[in-house]
Amino acid sequence: MTRLSPGAVIGILGGGQLGRMLAGAASQLGFDVHVFCPEAGSPAARVAMKHWQADYGDDEALTAFAEACDVITLEFENIPVSAVEAIAATGIPLHPGAKSLAISQDRADEKAFLRGIGIATADYREINAEADIGPALAALGGKGVLKTRRDGYDGKGQAWLNGPADIAAGWDSVGQAPSVLEAAIAFDCEISVIVARSSTGETASWAPPRNIHKDGILARSTVPSGVGQAVEAEARRQAVALVDALGHVGVLALEFFVMADGRLIANEFAPRVHNSGHWTPEACQTGQFEQHIRSIAGWKLGDTHRLFDAEMTNLIGEAGLIDPAMLAPNETLTLYGKREARPGRKMGHVTTRLGPRKD
């Protein structure tokens, strides 16, 4: 593809905080940003030059939006296939493309794809009816996590099953939707690799953070991860193999469980910038948002070298009502501009530079 010049228009599907931070990076590099999302006053739309407010099923609006842009990207992966097709019909490039989206939208396809390219995942069974769950649970050692194949995020659409007695309630709590049952992984810790692949095929990854989740939502990401160089190098190798296999263009995040012996088990991937990469702008030469824009614009990728040890803490719900005067000098605040601090809602994050990189 051709290299976009500053002044070109980048279109973002989705109006959340990831879109807002992508828009910030795009404007820093001299691009204009249009945002397409159904909600009024969303975090990304409020910083964009133009907001196209319509439903993802509105092909006419999507076509008009695409024709106003030079490249389209997205900040959430659950856009309908019909929207991808409507954009493809205009000939305006969409990055990431249909393959990354289709596979990441379905947990069963995602696991099969990862395994197919030699990346280990939790053992799992496809669940299409309540009657499938009992035998699957027994086969997976009596304990597991039931996850809807589609539309899960922040731990939503998931139910832990600790034995046959949990099956009926678990099946109801995932809405009796087609699901996967995953074996429970007794991991030592969780890490993720943020990786970028440009439209020219160049790749670059960041050192993986260690991630702590609370109630199924990311609470904190820390670098260095403490898992050691060999494990980090292997995780980064696998993430690069994944973006190459997908022909992915843009940033992608691959989440891993790390076992006590250093073995890696991939959990899932997101074909976009990721919450566990929010520390990269403050701690590295190039951050994930800038890198994503470079990737989709056909620019040379920036250096991902990490300069600082750092920790990123999510501000969830009421924690988002933080008083900026309380911040320490080594803390950087990012707020998403959400009007209402509902429980479980990601309102912003704080990145703390813990000092110059020591490892």
Give the residues lining the site for Mg ion (CB under 5 A): 255
Question: Which of Mg ion, ligand ATP, none lies near 160, with the C-beta cut-off 5 to 8 A by kind?
Answer: none
Among residues 186 and 328, whose Cβ is nearest to ligand ATP?
186
Smallest separation, CB 152 to ligand ATP (Å):
4
Among residues 182 and 232, whose Cβ is nearest to ligand ATP?
182
Smallest separation, CB 255 to ligand ATP (Å):
6
Among residues 72 and 183, whose Cβ is nearest to Mg ion?
183
Question: Which of ligand ATP, Mg ion, none lies near 72, with the C-beta cut-off 5 to 8 A by kind?
Answer: none
The three-state secondary structure class of 293 is helix
Give the span between the Cα atoms of 16 and 76, in whole angstroms.
Answer: 8
* Tokens (6 digits) for 27: 């404007």
CB atoms within 10 A of CB 28: 11
- Cβ(52)–Cβ(26) under 8 Å? no
Among residues 211 and 295, whose Cβ is nearest to ligand ATP?
211
Smallest separation, CB 267 to Mg ion (Å):
6
Give the span between the Cα atoms of 316 and 334, in whole angstroms.
Answer: 12
Give the span between the Cα atoms of 95 and 88, in whole angstroms.
Answer: 11
Q: Which residues bind ligand ATP (CB under 6 A)?
A: 122, 145, 147, 152-156, 182, 184-185, 190, 213, 216-218, 255, 267-268
The enclosing H or E element of 90 equals helix 81-90
Among residues 286 and 314, whose Cβ is nearest to Mg ion?
314
* Tokens (6 digits) for 195: 């990786």
Among residues 42 and 275, whose Cβ is nearest to ligand ATP?
275
Handedness of CA 101, 104, 107, 110 (dihedral sign): positive
Using Cβ positions, the residue closest to ligand ATP within the complex turns out to be 185
Question: Which of ligand ATP, Mg ion, none lies near 184, with the C-beta cut-off 5 to 8 A by kind?
Answer: ligand ATP
* Tokens (6 digits) for 259: 């076992």
Give the span between the Cα atoms of 146 and 167, in whole angstroms.
Answer: 9
Smallest separation, CB 145 to ligand ATP (Å):
5
